[in-house]
Chain A
């Protein structure tokens, strides 16, 4: 008989070795898939590497994809760590984009540093409020936040469409010539463009730097503050948190709000760093909110690891677009992402558990009979 049991101690080296080994295994499996589908694995990997990092403008493009993933990844890492299942990063990002573009349009004449700050605030606040809906419902009415936050993604998506396509809202461009042919959002003024930081041919988006700062801040919040302590206790054992007199509802709402603010900042960076216009279609096709879940899971919900993983997944997404063509379907890129995710999560599982061969000892009941009944259930 094969049984799986939990190993008590995870050695420190395992935490670094496991993801690396998992990535290696993933690349072998993906290589087989590539070979079967008629592609040269080594050549493809070389192409991916070039398209992500070395060819002209590749690194910049990688960071364009990595920036929103960094924010949505942080949003998920924060919430999931506390076992608050915020699947609504997608919708919170949309609302953040709506908020930031609205502020950008409204305060277009302000000095640039102040305008950028206000756009970030607008995006964060919009995402925060949107995330409060499932947060409050979960905390006070015990609804399932997975369902509520997921459904609200569609509501937010439709709301964005309504602003641009179905109404003459403040966001919609009703004057320019092209807008008369096809509905589109108003372009922001140049002052609302977030300045990238240029290193030679590589431009680091402002949003990515801000995201890095937030990652460090979140880590400090979790590790060094009383609120972070409450979060960690609640994430580990909600019974113990309640027993210790912690205000669990308030903590849930706060965590949800912070998570929504992170995703909302992702939306703001989409406006400020790249789009400069509210583009419902582009945002919805990118699916940054959902990919953020993958990023956070691969980073094992550690904010600093999210920074690195977001670059890796950003690189893969970027390479996917570069490779995509008649001979290389986009689905193959998704397949490779999936293989990596499975390998890393599987590696983490095997790190936490041991597989034993041979008959498992019969579970001993504690002193009373109740454990016997437990087995019977």
Chain B
């Protein structure tokens, strides 16, 4: 990997062109959080006046932390922020805004019941004082809106607007307040393709007027469409800054995804191939499935997948490309609007979790504390969260807690759950033990299909290893496993095949034994050819 060389050459190129100082710069910024997480590790980058600068990186690469430092939400532990060449110490978003730095978050900060104009002047007005002339402000907003081609009615109330229009209001708010540096955090997530085009032409108008736009993204086609330069972040470090005109998707994908360790060994890949069973239908088959996402846009589009018994299918992709919705729709937690989902050859009922459970679907959810367990109930009660309906710890309408606790003691030993007693409340357990409670409940029922969404996220090394081995064992016993993870190493190590999701579609399925990181990285960033 030639990242170091890239970084040096980029830096020298910078100093050569330095006429005026960059509009905003981070110099050697380090940010550590409690628990030893280093979110930013000596990150440096510069955005020039009048350019669109893309910050590119996977989830967890440190993009949002960096921007929270630029906007005064966090203070860096080391390093500094410079605006127009001058070091600044930003203690709050307010101070950052005074310096001209504004951020438009993915989750917009607007008051639904107020009008556009009222939102724009909420807490700050050009005219000072407490007075507020609606007509003047509306006229001013219309003027800015027409200059940047962001049509929106200043008198409309926020709840009447689409998500795309709301985002426009948030951008207008920043422009109205005199933003010279505008940070857009993954702005296209909630937009339709035509809205994306509109946003891009507005952005071009802004930089033509001398403003600086920092564009956070993990989608290569968008970066090529709008950015002048890009800085790639990976695992908290800035890899390099490149001119868009002088790079290609391949190089960017490699910088984004690239990995230090080499994986020649695919322990799972060879073991299962031995017995071909052609006549048996796959355990899980999705055919042309459409799913509506939270934003009202289709989160999964015409998606087809199949997983056979004993197989681990890894679902790779940058998060937000439909992984959560895929897990939910198969588990029955989210309805699908078109297509069919078959488990063991039979159609499932759309959006009915009990139907999925009865068909032998085990679900290890991403949000284990919020969804996977009932935190104020005991370990024993959480272990019977699903089986209380069907198996032994009940007699008629009664629940036999003593029996349940005996079963829990056995499961705690088998799955190495470290809790003082079966009556301990789950919220008192560590993350690894909570995940073991979920695993014990889901896998002890002998499932046909296991959905595992980010099953090792936030766990320590020992617990991670344990969770992985349990999943591999379940596959050996004949379960089909859908492994969703943002950790590409984990996917490559455990999976037999890997399906890559991008914008709600499967852009490719590859054999894990032959997959390369570069190929996966390109597919994850939407650069399929």
Contacts and interface: CB of A to CB of B under 8 A. Distances in A.
A169 interface: no
B107 A370 contact: no
Contacts of A370: 59, 64
B385 A368 contact: no
A375 B64 CA distance: 11
Contact of A368 (B68, B357, B486): B486
A2 interface: no
B105 A228 contact: no
> On chain A, which size bracket covers the interface?
35 or more
A377 B59 contact: no
Contact of B363 (A9, A243, A363, A365): A243
B370 A237 contact: yes
Contact of B65 (A226, A361, A365): A365
Contacts of A224: 398-399, 401
A239 B371 contact: yes
A225 interface: yes
Given A224-B401, A240-B372, A365 B37 contact: yes
A37 interface: no
B35 A243 contact: no
A236 B377 contact: yes
B187 interface: no
A236 B458 contact: no
Contacts of A236: 374-377
B61 A373 contact: no
B34 interface: yes
A245 B106 contact: no
B74 A362 contact: yes
Nearest to A247: B354
A369 B333 contact: no
Interface string B94-124: 0000000001011101000000000000000
B398 A226 contact: yes
Interface residues of B, number: 58
Interface string B345-367: 00000000110111000010101
A214 interface: no
A366 B358 CA distance: 33
A244 interface: yes
A8 interface: yes
Contacts of B376: 236-237
A226 B377 contact: no
Given A8-B428, A9-B428, A226-B388, A368 B319 contact: yes
A377 B109 contact: yes
B377 A243 contact: no
A364 interface: yes
A373 B185 CA distance: 9
A245 B354 contact: yes
Contacts of B332: 245
Interface string A331-375: 000000000000000000000000000000111111111101101
A229 B381 contact: yes
A139 B357 CA distance: 22
Given A233-B374, A239-B371, A8 B63 contact: no
Interface in A1-51: 8-9
A53 B476 CA distance: 72
A243 B68 CA distance: 34
A236 B369 CA distance: 12
Given A8-B428, A237-B375, A243-B371, A369 B388 contact: no
Interface in B365-419: 365, 367, 370-377, 381, 384-386, 388-389, 394, 397-399, 401
B39 interface: yes
B305 interface: no
Contacts of B103: 376
B235 to A, nearest CB: 10
A369 B398 contact: no
B399 A229 contact: yes
A236 B374 CA distance: 6
A220 to B, nearest CB: 9
A85 to B, nearest CB: 19
A42 B472 CA distance: 73
B227 to A, nearest CB: 19
A242 interface: yes
B42 interface: no
Contacts of A226: 388-389, 394, 397-399
Given A243-B372, A373-B106, A227 B397 contact: yes
Contacts of A242: 333, 353
A232 B377 contact: yes
A208 B394 CA distance: 33
B63 A240 contact: no
A226 B385 CA distance: 10
Contacts of B62: 369
A239 B63 CA distance: 30
Interface string B308-343: 000000000001000000000001110000000000
A227 B185 CA distance: 45
Given A233-B377, A369-B63, A369-B64, A228 B399 contact: yes
A216 to B, nearest CB: 16
A229 B399 CA distance: 8
B370 A239 contact: yes
A376 B74 CA distance: 9
A367 B64 contact: no
B386 to A, nearest CB: 5
Given A233-B374, A237-B374, A369-B62, A377 B105 contact: yes
Nearest to B73: A376
A367 B37 contact: yes
Given A225-B398, A240-B385, A367 B428 contact: no
Contact of B34 (A244, A364, A369): A364
Residue in B61, B356, B389 whose Cβ sees the most chain A Cβ within 10 Å: B389
Given A226-B388, A243-B353, A376-B105, A368 B371 contact: no
Interface in B41-68: 59-65, 68
Contacts of B373: 237, 240
B457 interface: yes
B160 to A, nearest CB: 21
A239 B71 CA distance: 34
Among the interface residues A229, A244, A367, A370, which one has the most CB atoms of the partner chain B within 10 A?
A: A244
A239 B377 CA distance: 14
A368 B397 contact: no
A233 B426 CA distance: 12
B381 A244 contact: no
B399 A240 contact: no
Contacts of A239: 367, 370-371
A367 B458 contact: yes
Nearest to A369: B64
A367 B381 contact: no
Interface of B: 33-35, 37, 39, 59-65, 68, 71, 73-74, 103, 105-107, 109, 185, 319, 331-333, 353-354, 356-358, 363, 365, 367, 370-377, 381, 384-386, 388-389, 394, 397-399, 401, 427-428, 457-458, 486
Given A233-B377, A362-B34, 18 more contacts: A229-B399, A232-B377, A236-B374, A239-B370, A239-B371, A243-B365, A244-B353, A244-B386, A245-B358, A247-B354, A365-B33, A365-B39, A367-B458, A368-B457, A369-B64, A373-B64, A373-B106, A375-B73
